[in-house]
Amino acid sequence: SDVCSSDLAVNTRSSLNIRTGDVNSDGKVTDADGEYVSQMIVGLVVPTPLERDAADVNGDGAIDILDATAILQYAAGSLTNW
């Protein structure tokens, strides 16, 4: 299920206009973003610097299962902010 930015509070990193959680830069945080982060974690894809910034939703400097889980929860509507 797609989540629009008007539905939930979404952080934007203004210096680079990076929308937290919107890893594929389609303007929405969806399960596709969570799946992409999962692929990053296991090494199936190599993220760009912008994708890494968008994927690190908890801001700890690492892309891990916590980020993927949070993005999937956000996309499902069970998490409303980072």
**Residues 6-50: pLDDT tens digits?**
444 455 544 456 799 999 999 999 999 999 999 999 999 999 999
Return d(Cα 18, Cα 1) in angstroms, integer: 22
Q: Which of 53, 50, 57, 59 is nearest to 80 (CA)?
A: 57
Residue 40 backbone dihedrals phi, psi, to 5 degrees:
-60, -45
Q: What pLDDT is stored for residue 11 in this prediction?
A: 56
Inter-residue contact 75 to 4 (CB < 8 Å): no
**Residues 56-82: pLDDT tens digits?**
999 999 999 999 999 999 999 999 988
Return d(Cα 78, Cα 72) in angstroms, integer: 9
**Residues 2-13: pLDDT tens digits?**
444 444 445 554
Higher-scoring residue by pLDDT: 51, 12: 51
- Cβ within 8 Å of residue 58, ≥6 positions away: 66, 67, 70, 82
Checking if the pLDDT of 55 tops 70, the result is: yes
pTM score, whole prediction: 0.79
